[in-house]
Amino acid sequence: MSGANVQQMAARVADLLEARLNLGGATLADKLRRGGRRLPRKVRREATYLADAARIANVPRLMFQIDPHRVRLAYDACLRHLKPLGAAERRKALAMQMLTGIGAGLFLTGTLVLLLLAWRGYL
pLDDT tens figures, 68-118: 999 999 999 999 988 875 677 778 888 999 999 999 999 999 999 999 999
Which pLDDT does position 35 carry in this prediction? Answer: 85
Which pLDDT does position 112 carry in this prediction? Answer: 97
Which pLDDT does position 89 carry in this prediction? Answer: 77
**Size of the chain in residues:** 123
Select the more confidently predicted residue: 103 or 39: 103
Q: Are residues 62 and 9 in the same domain?
A: yes
Other residues' Cβ atoms within 10 Å of the Cβ of residue 11? 13
As a whole number of angstroms, the distance between CA 106 and CA 3 comes to 56
Q: Are residues 57 and 107 in the same domain?
A: no
Q: Are residues 91 and 76 in the same domain?
A: no
pTM over 0.85: no
Largest CA distance in the chain: 83
Q: Where are the beta strands (DSSP E) in the chain?
A: none
Which pLDDT does position 36 carry in this prediction? Answer: 82
Q: Are residues 77 and 122 in the same domain?
A: no
Structural domain boundaries, residue 15: 3-82
